[in-house]
Amino acid sequence: MTALPALDGPLVPPASGAAPKSLVILLHGYGSNGEDLIGLVPHWRHAFPDTLFISPNAPQICPGAPGGYQWWPITSMDPQARIAGARATAPIIDAFIDAQLARYGLSEDRLALVGFSQGTMMALQVGLRRQRPVAGILGYSGMLVDETGLSEMTSKPPILLVHGDADPTVPVAALHHSGATLQALGYQVGGHVSPGLGHSIDLDGLQMGGNFLHKVLN
């Protein structure tokens, strides 16, 4: 049996200096890296003095993106290719989550997943299929990828999806479709659309995300 790749990336320890009482794992987008997404943490850290933030690099180097990584290659826009990529990568993230929870002696209800773009796709792919629900999933500029596996989604954490209505990479229709699909399955899903925003995160989205994390972790 082939060993799964071990993920690694930057972390921000609890501001209190004490052992973490909660954990936020941030999953970056295609062609980016953990250093990029860990840049969100200063916007939130003051409200989470006992939280550890970790932003692992995806397991694959991203061609044509110096210093960038990918959760799976984007060689085709075919939905089946996205599904295959997300399914292949999910066990790697699951193993990382298990290792971090064990390392810090925390349970899933003290863990929130935050994703951007491809990272949001992975946060939903993994977080909705774990045996025990995580505290919450915050997804920026992403979508629900694997709708052929909806019956596998037995975990029901609260979800907040945030998107720009001028996103040319993952159109905002993805938020509406994903939200409606999840709500029909009984999920508690919140949504926010930022007017005029492209494939990015604005201050309104950061504030809403921080409020969501505070609610689910406290």
Q: Tell me how many degrees the CA angle 141-185-111 measures, rounded to the nearest 5.
A: 55
Residue 152 domain boundaries = 11-217
The arithmetic mean of pLDDT across residues 18-26, rounded, is 97
Amino acid identity of 85?
G
Residues written for the chain: 218
**In a domain? residue 187:** yes
Confidence of residue 3 (pLDDT cuts 50, 70, 90): confident
**In a domain? residue 72:** yes
Q: Is 63 exposed, middle or buried (0-12, 13-18, 19+ CB in 10 A)?
A: exposed
**In a domain? residue 109:** yes
Amino acid identity of 17?
G
Average pLDDT value over all residues in the chain: 95
69: domain CATH number is 3.40.50.1820
The arithmetic mean of pLDDT across residues 151-163, rounded, is 93
- DSSP letter for each residue of 54-122: E-PPPSEE-TTSTT-EESS--S---HHHHHHHHHHHHHHHHHHHHHHHHHHT--GGGEEEEEETHHHHH
**In a domain? residue 197:** yes
Which stretch of 78-82, 105-109, 138-142, 168-172 has the lowest confidence by average pLDDT?
A: 78-82
Taking alpha carbons only, the member of 118, 139, 1, 101 closest to residue 60 is 118
pTM: 0.96
Q: What's the total number of domains in the chain? A: 1
* Res 32 pLDDT > 80: yes
**Contact status, residue 143 vs residue 170, Cβ threshold 8 Å:** yes
Please give the pLDDT value at position 57: 98
**In a domain? residue 4:** no
Confidence of residue 149 (pLDDT cuts 50, 70, 90): confident
Please give the pLDDT value at position 154: 86
Please give the pLDDT value at position 2: 67
**In a domain? residue 160:** yes
The pLDDT tens digits for 76-114 are 778 899 999 999 999 999 999 999 999 999 999 999 999
**In a domain? residue 60:** yes
**In a domain? residue 105:** yes
